[in-house]
Amino acid sequence: MTELNKIARALVAPNKGILAADESTGTIGKRFAKINVENIEENRRAYRELLFTTLNINEYISGAIMYDETIRQRAGNGETFVAVLEKQNILPGIKVDEGTEPMADSPDEVIAKGLENLPARLPEYVKMGAKFCKWRGVIKIGDNIPTSNCIQINAERLAKYAELCQENNLVPMLEPEVLMDGNHTIEKCFEITKNVLKVVFVELQKVEVDLSGIILKPNMVISGSDCSEQASAKQVAEMTVKCLKETVPEDVGGITFLSGGQSEKQACETLNEINKLSADCPWALSFSYGRALQTSTLKTWGGKVENFKEAQETFLKQAKLASLAREGNL
Distance of CA 139 to the CA centre of its chain: 15
Handedness of CA 119, 121, 125, 130 (dihedral sign): negative
Handedness of CA 5, 243, 180, 137 (dihedral sign): positive
**Calpha distance 256→74 (Å, rounded):** 27
**Calpha distance 262→225 (Å, rounded):** 9
Helix axes 41-52, 291-301, angle to 10 degrees: 110
Please provide the size of the chain in residues: 330
175 annotated active-site: yes
Amino acid at site 260: G
Question: How crowded is residue 235: how many other Cβ atoms within 10 Å of its Cβ?
Answer: 16
**Calpha distance 288→301 (Å, rounded):** 22
**Calpha distance 86→217 (Å, rounded):** 22
217 annotated active-site: yes
Nearest residue to 235 (alpha-carbon basis) of 285, 181, 297, 189? 189
Nearest residue to 227 (alpha-carbon basis) of 189, 178, 281? 189
**Calpha distance 57→216 (Å, rounded):** 23
Calculate the CA dihedral of residues 55, 63, 24, 79 and round it to 10 degrees: 50
* Residue 24 near residue 290, CB atoms below 8 Å: no
DSSP H or E stretch at residue 315:
helix 308-326
**Calpha distance 169→132 (Å, rounded):** 9
Instruction: Name the catalytic one among 217, 264, 269, 273.
Output: 217
* Residue 239 near residue 221, CB atoms below 8 Å: yes
Instruction: Name the catalytic one among 23, 49, 156, 175.
Output: 175
Q: Which residues are catalytic?
A: 175, 217
